[in-house]
Chains A and B, each alone.
Chain A
Amino acid sequence: MWDMPKIWVFRGLKKGILTTAYPKSQPTSEEVPTASLPPRPTDAVDWSAGERGCPTGAIDSGGKRVDLGRCVYCRLCSSAGFTFDDGSGSRAGALQAGLTGRHAAGARRIFGRSLHVMMIDVGSCNACNLEVLNLSNPYYDLSRLGIAFTNSPKHADALIVVGALNPAMVDALKMTYESMPEPKLVLSVGACAISGGIFRSAEGFVSPVGDAIPVDVVVPGCPPSPVQILEGLLLAAGRLKETGAMR
């Protein structure tokens, strides 16, 4: 029993190797798996080849543009000529969080060093919640970047919203947003939060989160991988250029 602590110290050391090098360098293909890569149209796009069509209407009628906020990454469009992975293993184009245009200037000055984040679930399938929680496991280790979770809106700089906004959660979402101090950031994480995702025609879906409260950053995915959520947080805090490079 006495040699136990040794094992744990050793494990603790190994932990350093586990942690992703992102954002210092691009994430690996383990960290952003193929299933989290956005569909890209190719010259060979032909919907008549794939029988089923896009289940969320994320692809425009010409078949050339994909609305990532709607995409649930089901990859049914692969049979119609959309590609996901160029096979190079590079994840340079994989990061896809976006600013909505209302993002405050000077975010880096205000939030650049420390960011307190709260998560609120407004009707998810739980996978998005789990990916957000995973950010504190040793593979992603949020705290090394000065980012910490908080459970009170009063202490939160940023609010991560996951799930398809449910009628029962509209007031709770607004109240949570109201009780955050200014200045504040909001991230819509996952297709459900951004557009309703697969549930956009379901009875339990009210509206995109962005219609209920102001949203600064969207993180597409179903669910987005932890690194992609991390990218959204860094972007919100003004620590990334939109190209994905560390500022």
Chain B
Amino acid sequence: MERLGEKMQLSSVFQAGGLNYALISDTETNKTIISELPLTLSEEFGALLRGSGAKPGSPLVLEASGRVEGYGVFEFPYGPVSWGVPEAGAFSLMTYGERVLKVVPRLNFKKRGIERAVLGRTPEDALLFVERSAGNFSAAYSTCFAAAVEDSLGLEVPSEARWTRAVALELERIHNHLYVFGRLAEAASQNIAATQAHALRERVLRLNSRHFGHRYLFGINSIGGVSRGLPKDERRTLTTEVRLIGREFSELVQYFLSSRIFLDRLQGTAKLTRKDALGLGTVGPSARGSGVQWDDRLTFPLEPYEDIYVNLETEDGEDTMARTMVRVKEVESSTIALRELLDRMPSDGTKSGPHRRRADSLGAGFSFCRVESPSGDLIQAVQLDGGGRVGSLHVRPPSLVNWLPFARSLEGTVFTDFQFAFESFGLSFADSDR
């Protein structure tokens, strides 16, 4: 019927009560609009979002536009077993000589079917599945789910718990960004720097385990709160540790940026124009590297993000370097945010009501939540049934919508850029397949 306007970005489509709905982000007024689905989806994007609901075992092939054929064009398969991408997922690469003409991601090699597995379970039991959708974004997943369920129940949650969740989210962001940085350094054969980045990341994982009880932050959330709080003295030591890690990382980055070899590999590599970034629904650091001003912590702030300072880090380079620099700067701004979170965390037992993200027009007990995961905007829409069990769950993972931008960025590049592009987008098959 109507096409999406300039400033509207289609973020997700899902089913509720037997009807199809679209979740649309108004990038100008920062509103989420949920509408029934009469609008014409752009073909690729519509197929992507609908196809993501496929059953385990059936592949999801993200064929963007027409096939590339001709004399000298080779199609070669990559994956699902490879070391360059240490996860199960595959690509078809269409090449002409050195040139990459087109990349077609092939997904669902690891679809476990989380959304259906949680149906009929209590939200507490469902959390165990949700936090294991993508191990490296576990805090984002469980916080998003818990907040959506709390909203739908109209639960009050202690402010301290909400702040503790934010601490976990920022630690998760730091360890993921360090991972991406380390992998890029590896790809550029900068072994010392890679080793140092991975060592710093190990320190963050150990902090996670010491203060939250799990290296990947599983089990930190429960419905209505967190499973373990951060006592005052721990907040102090955590602040110090995080500051040290942040400082060592910025030294490392400086060293790195003085290396011509490294810069040459990143600059101008795998460009994604701002127009494409917006048009393909790109999210997270990958979008911000192309100048898109979007970060759920600022555009859809959950408590406590309205209260603390988070800098919106963007770059205009549109290339691998820009995406990397967004992540580098976010490590620093997360460190600063963590200091404030840990310093000002309320301990007076105040509670705060739901985030007003209920969407009762869709049916009773329906709500959604958006959380900025390390790789971008994660959306979950939850509906509880009459007995308080999960009646439907829709997940729109950040990696899922970033595949097409990733593929677009590789068109016309040379094959050796593949690894750099892949790592800089921070893509995870576990996340997109779930």
Contacts and interface: CB of A to CB of B under 8 A. Distances in A.
B274 interface: no
Interface stretch (A58-66, A164-172, A208-216): A164-172
B194 to A, nearest CB: 9
A169 B90 CA distance: 11
Please tell me the size bucket of the interface on B. 35 or more
Interface in B94-110: 108-110
B82 interface: yes
B283 interface: no
B243 interface: no
B117 A125 contact: no
A136 B194 CA distance: 11
Nearest to A75: B219
A222 B132 CA distance: 9
Interface residues of A, number: 60
Contact of B133 (A11, A33, A125): A125
B218 interface: yes
A33 B133 CA distance: 22
Interface in A58-92: 72, 74-75
A137 interface: yes
Contacts of B192: 8, 11-12
A6 B138 CA distance: 38
Contact of A127 (B57, B59, B113, B138): B138
Interface in A120-161: 120-134, 136-139, 149-151
A48 interface: no
A37 B88 CA distance: 28
Contact of A126 (B195, B214, B431): B431
A244 interface: no
Given A134-B198, A134-B202, A223-B135, A123 B109 contact: yes
Interface in B197-247: 198-199, 201-202, 205-206, 209-210, 213-216, 218-219
Given A119-B86, A125-B135, A126-B135, A169 B215 contact: no
Contacts of B430: 124-126
Interface of A: 1, 4, 7-8, 11-12, 15, 18, 30, 33-35, 52, 55, 72, 74-75, 118-134, 136-139, 149-151, 163-164, 166-169, 172, 176, 197-199, 201-205, 222-223, 225
Given A52-B125, A137-B195, A203-B56, 18 more contacts: A35-B215, A55-B128, A72-B128, A74-B128, A75-B219, A119-B86, A125-B138, A126-B428, A126-B430, A127-B216, A131-B215, A149-B83, A166-B57, A166-B110, A166-B111, A198-B129, A199-B117, A225-B215
